[in-house]
Amino acid sequence: MKSIRSLLLIGLLQVATATAAFAADDLARIKSAGAFKVGTEGTYAPFTYHDSSNQLTGFDVDIARAIAAKLGVKAEFVEGKWDGLIAGLDANRYDAVINEVAVTDARKQKYDFSDPYIVSHAALIVASNNTTIKNFDDLKGKKSANTLTSNFGKIAASHGAEVIPVQGFNESIDLLTSGRVDATVNDSLSFLDFKKHKPDAKVKIAAIDTSSDSSDHSAVLIRKGNPELQAAINKALAEIKADGTYAKISEKYFGKDVSK
């Protein structure tokens, strides 16, 4: 029995050691391969989505490419659903997740983050003719379309809403405009971009939560114990802010600086 336990312990230690080694060598491996692999949704405008020609684009996609350029490599994207996106990082499918990932205490226990590069707020979005939902407390007993594990879904649930699971912002709006849900708690910047492209859409913002608890500071998510890669990404972010690249990308998608 002891020998079996010893073998199991050795196996676990080998896995842990291999994972740590993988993380420790990430920056060198990225430069050697000439590619910075990024996990992203591809369904979350304006951060990561497909344009009319089906090309992957968006604020986060452009930021990822700018970071990769500063690292001296090309960005390669691996698309996946949000609910499994971070798990893909655990499985070493990519080097980072760049998908407006909010910095939270829970995530910091298991992962490392770059310096924050975007700040957004939780917006309560309802149909244009809705007169009953005026603030977040009015969500009690109502249906809100959200991805189950997102911060926005947790905000909706905390106010008593029944969270109807969706895969992204666009599906949330589709359910809302079709009357299948009462609201969606979502990213204020995503909503502004949506209305920019579809000004006649029958939806509106009923309330915005600007409290620190509901204001997301988003950053690049990487595996734990990766100080060299973390420092390199932070340096790249600082450089694209200093040389005007960040401002150009931010203006392109939002018309303003979204880093503060």
**Tens digits of per-residue pLDDT, 169-191?**
999 999 999 999 999 999 888 89
**Tens digits of per-residue pLDDT, 196-255?**
889 999 999 999 988 766 677 999 999 999 999 999 999 999 999 999 999 999 999 988
When computed from its CA atoms, the radius of gyration of the chain, rounded to whole angstroms, is 20
Distance between CA 12 and CA 20 in Å, rounded?
Answer: 12
- Please give the pLDDT value at position 196: 80
Q: Would you tell me the crossing angle of helices 169-177 and 188-197 to the nearest 10 degrees?
A: 70
- Please give the pLDDT value at position 260: 77
- Please give the pLDDT value at position 71: 98
**Tens digits of per-residue pLDDT, 99-117?**
999 899 999 999 999 999 9
CB 67, CB 30: distance < 8 Å: no
* Domains of the chain from N-terminus onward: 2-116+219-254 (3.40.190.10), 119-215 (3.40.190.10)
Distance between CA 253 and CA 216 in Å, rounded?
Answer: 18
Q: What share of the chain is helix, strand, coil (3-state, %, to 5)?
A: 45, 25, 30
The secondary element (H helix, E strand) that includes residue 205 is strand 203-209
Picking from 116-120, 139-143, 190-194, which range would have the lowest pLDDT averaged per residue?
A: 190-194
Distance between CA 42 and CA 58 in Å, rounded?
Answer: 9
**Tens digits of per-residue pLDDT, 7-49?**
444 444 444 444 444 455 799 999 999 999 999 999 988 899 9
Backbone angles phi, psi at 91, to 5 degrees: -85, 10
